A and B are shown apart, each in its own frame.
Chain A
């Protein structure tokens, strides 16, 4: 199981939960599992998210492995200039 930390304004879409536990081995699986657990998370994911695994920000990749026990944060998609 992976504990996914959400940013706080997403609590309104998860019934108040800011940490969601899902089964996932990659970033892509994680996003699918999040939507399965909380269908309303589809909107922020569609709008664009990045995923931080142990502090390393995965901007867009869906195939990045999520090692057992790693710290996982969902973040809004980063944009540069």
Chain B
């Protein structure tokens, strides 16, 4: 099957790749662009480890085809920190030990950042439901929820 040429923007950088029409956006990020931060935990949109935003909308990159990224603005975990300055969510995740193995962490960060952009003052329930599409098998979510809510509080104070 012949490959298709795709031009898109990832974390602010213009990029191009050739992909098979069956390959997912996740495959393209990982295998063509070497952005291996997004993980494939399920391939069926159930675990959220591959979370990215496309034109500001949170999606599972395993459920989107690579060719669909044409002309879009994509943000991945690799784009969350600004240079050597970590995003407050990244700092709090470390501080709260909100990760054990860390495989779900990229997806959680992308999803949580998306939450706080939409709702800077989420309740615990809202946070839990927003992150219900991001599976974590290690932590029982306790420290993740606390880290996100504390980040929200800190960002509200700072703004």
Q: Is A in direct contact with B (CB under 8 Å) within the complex? A: no
A interface list, Cβ under 8 A from B: none
B residues with CB within 8 A of A: none
